[in-house]
Amino acid sequence: MALKNQLFLGSFVHCKALDELEYLHNAAICVDQSGTIVAVETECDAVKAKETVFPRLGWGDAEVEVVAAKEGQFFFPGFIDTHLHASQYPNVGIFGKSTLLDWLNTYTFPLEASLSDPAKARQVYTRVIRKTLSHGTTCAAYYATIDVPSTNLLADLCLSLGQRALVGRVCMDQLSPDYYRDTSAETSIAATRASIAHIQAADPAMSLVRPVITPRFAPSCSAALLRQLGALAAEHPTLPIQTHISENAAEIALVRSLFPEDASYAAVYDAVGLLTPRTILAHAVHLTAAEADLVAARGAKVSHCPCSNSALASGAARVRWLLDRGVVCGLGTDVSGGYSASVLAAARQAVLVSRHVSLAGDEGGEGEGERGRERERERLSVEEVLFLATKGGAEVVGLAGRVGGFGLGMEWDAQLVGLGRVDAAGEVEGPDGGDVDVFGWESWPERMAKWVYNGDDRNTKRVWVKGRSVHERR
């Protein structure tokens, strides 16, 4: 159904800079039928918008749908999940005491292989899209499986359910079980081409969904496959690339033994042309300084996955250290290494992991002088993790300036957030505010902190992608 022009009224919060949120109250945002923001007005209500803004836009009153946030509610940019495995969604929370390499063999490969059953794939992919939308994820960088038809189905479902997505057919031709791997580099490339062709035909303008070249990670790709994927990436200069890097110690040792001629894990990807400005590197927990500098020099981006890194005991990524070196970072849930499909949960965990990083080498001390200041800098703020979840993520997935904020000309990928309001008798009034209780005296920055630390999908009242309403909490 064609979209109407839309007028959004109320409070809008978005990231102005890494450590700065902008609050627009009593504001109006106009979104046209293509889902693009065409006016941002402060001190504006419905009457003023109709009298002064609509004529400028050539809008008649009758063609406009009005959505007004209630008192205390606010519009926030949709979250961007820069790394998750749609095919692993049924396993969220199921990882026992495993760590990366045994987790892959025990839990992950069997589940991924089973999704070659089309009915199961449809069930799982429909659910993961609906679930992530309900948590405010308007854009997701998905890994599917090696299976082409079900990977294509994931892209089709993203299109029909209205989620913006990168969809990758997973490439892996070695060190994986016989029942779940590409039989050669050539078959892997042919299958990848088939999936790229399908997704490009489904959304030729890449207005919502795009294919992403997806070597699983260096250990599961032969040198020949990595080389051919680098060539494929060069052949398709508009397509993003995604893979994993430097997640855990055993994996890094494995890469060293498999690729002894390369100076580092990052160098393995760089040698074949897979380290580019359109590359999304998940984890980057244990990069050396030389690798971080190489990643920054190539303009590759990092998806920080703090829930996954904590769950699989992989380590604590030094996000400030990466940012200081000029590496662009976003957040990933990394379902199902990560135990939650919520980017808000990943943001919360990113704060906590950064606080552990700040303790490294000197547990418990506040730290004084220079080291004390360094420790404080290492700790990410609420504002910073919300930036990573929105604007940072947009840059990671190649959509900077298009989504992640409320600027003129950007697309309306947004969520309406409502927190619980406590009345004078100590009861929560109005719709379900979940775990967040607001008493009314909190400042807006304090409300944002309460949302980050205790919020969940109960606070995500409604979600839009490219202007289309794609989720509403009843």
Ligand X SMILES: O=c1[nH]c(=O)c2nc[nH]c2[nH]1
Write out the residues near ligand X by the rule CB under 6 A: 85, 100, 104, 108, 216-217, 244, 247, 308, 334, 337
- Regarding 156 and contact with Zn ion (CB under 5 A), the answer is no
Q: What is each CA distance from 427 to 422, 439, 441, 442, 454, in whole angstroms?
A: 5, 10, 16, 17, 18
Name the minimum Å distance from CB 103 to ligand X: 8
Name the minimum Å distance from CB 253 to Zn ion: 19
Angle between helices 185-202 and 148-161 (to 10 degrees): 20
Report whether 77 contacts 393 (CB < 8 A). no
Instruction: Return left, alpha or beta for 35; rule: phi > 0 is left, psi -120 to 50 is alpha, else beta.
Output: left
Q: What is the rounded CA–CA span in Å between residue 385 and residue 253?
A: 31
Report whether 338 contacts 346 (CB < 8 A). yes
Q: What is the rounded CA–CA span in Å between residue 348 and residue 255?
A: 31
Report what 217 binds from Zn ion, ligand X, none; CB cut-off 5-8 Å by kind. Answer: ligand X
Instruction: Report the residue number whose CB is nearest to ligand X.
Output: 337
Q: According to CB under 5 A, which one of 41, 334, 378, 395 is a site residue for Zn ion?
A: 334
Show the tokens assigned to 200. Answer: 């490009």
Pairing of strands 428-429, 420-422: antiparallel
Of 350 and 382, nearer to Zn ion (C-beta) is 350
Report whether 44 contacts 28 (CB < 8 A). yes
Of 135 and 216, nearer to ligand X (C-beta) is 216
Name the minimum Å distance from CB 222 to ligand X: 15
Report, in angstroms and rounded to the nearest whole number, the Rg of the chain calculated over CA atoms: 22
Of 285 and 382, nearer to Zn ion (C-beta) is 285
Of 314 and 415, nearer to ligand X (C-beta) is 314
Report what 108 binds from Zn ion, ligand X, none; CB cut-off 5-8 Å by kind. Answer: ligand X
Name the minimum Å distance from CB 84 to Zn ion: 7
- By rule CB under 5 A, what string of x and - marks binding of each residue 254-293 to Zn ion? ----------------------------x-----------
Name the minimum Å distance from CB 324 to ligand X: 25
Long-range contact set of residues 456-459: C-beta below 8 Å, sequence gap at least 24: 456/135, 456/342, 456/344, 456/345, 457/134, 457/135, 457/136, 457/342, 458/432, 458/433, 458/434, 459/417, 459/418, 459/419, 459/433, 459/434
Task: Name the one range near Zn ion by CB under 5 A: 98-106, 181-189, 263-271, 331-339.
Answer: 331-339
Of 239 and 282, nearer to Zn ion (C-beta) is 282
Name the minimum Å distance from CB 327 to ligand X: 19
Q: Which positions ≥6 away from 280 have C-beta within 8 Å?
A: 82, 83, 141, 212, 240, 241, 242, 243, 300, 301, 302, 303, 396, 397
Name the minimum Å distance from CB 3 to Zn ion: 34
Report what 181 binds from ligand X, Zn ion, none; CB cut-off 5-8 Å by kind. Answer: none
Of 322 and 414, nearer to ligand X (C-beta) is 322
Name the minimum Å distance from CB 165 to ligand X: 17
Closest residue by Cα to residue 166 from 348, 384, 351, 330? 330
For 154, phi and psi rounded to 5 degrees?
Answer: -60, -45
Nearest 5°: the CA angle 231, 233, 239 is: 165
Of 81 and 411, nearer to ligand X (C-beta) is 81
Report what 247 binds from ligand X, Zn ion, none; CB cut-off 5-8 Å by kind. Answer: ligand X
Report what 216 binds from Zn ion, ligand X, none; CB cut-off 5-8 Å by kind. Answer: ligand X
Of 5 and 279, nearer to ligand X (C-beta) is 279
Name the minimum Å distance from CB 111 to ligand X: 10
Report what 301 binds from Zn ion, ligand X, none; CB cut-off 5-8 Å by kind. Answer: none
Q: Reduced to 3 states, what is the DSSP secondary structure of residue 417?
A: strand
Element (H, E) at 400: none
Closest residue by Cα to residue 211 from 255, 158, 251? 158
Name the minimum Å distance from CB 217 to Zn ion: 8
Of 73 and 246, nearer to Zn ion (C-beta) is 246
Closest residue by Cα to residue 337 from 168, 127, 94? 94
Instruction: Return left, alpha or beta for 454; rule: phi > 0 is left, psi -120 to 50 is alpha, else beta.
Output: alpha
Of 32 and 334, nearer to Zn ion (C-beta) is 334
Report what 104 binds from ligand X, Zn ion, none; CB cut-off 5-8 Å by kind. Answer: ligand X
Report what 135 binds from Zn ion, ligand X, none; CB cut-off 5-8 Å by kind. Answer: none
Of 337 and 433, nearer to ligand X (C-beta) is 337
For 210, phi and psi rounded to 5 degrees?
Answer: -140, 150
Instruction: Report the residue number whose CB is nearest to Zn ion.
Output: 334
Q: Rule CB under 5 A: which residues touch Zn ion? A: 282, 334
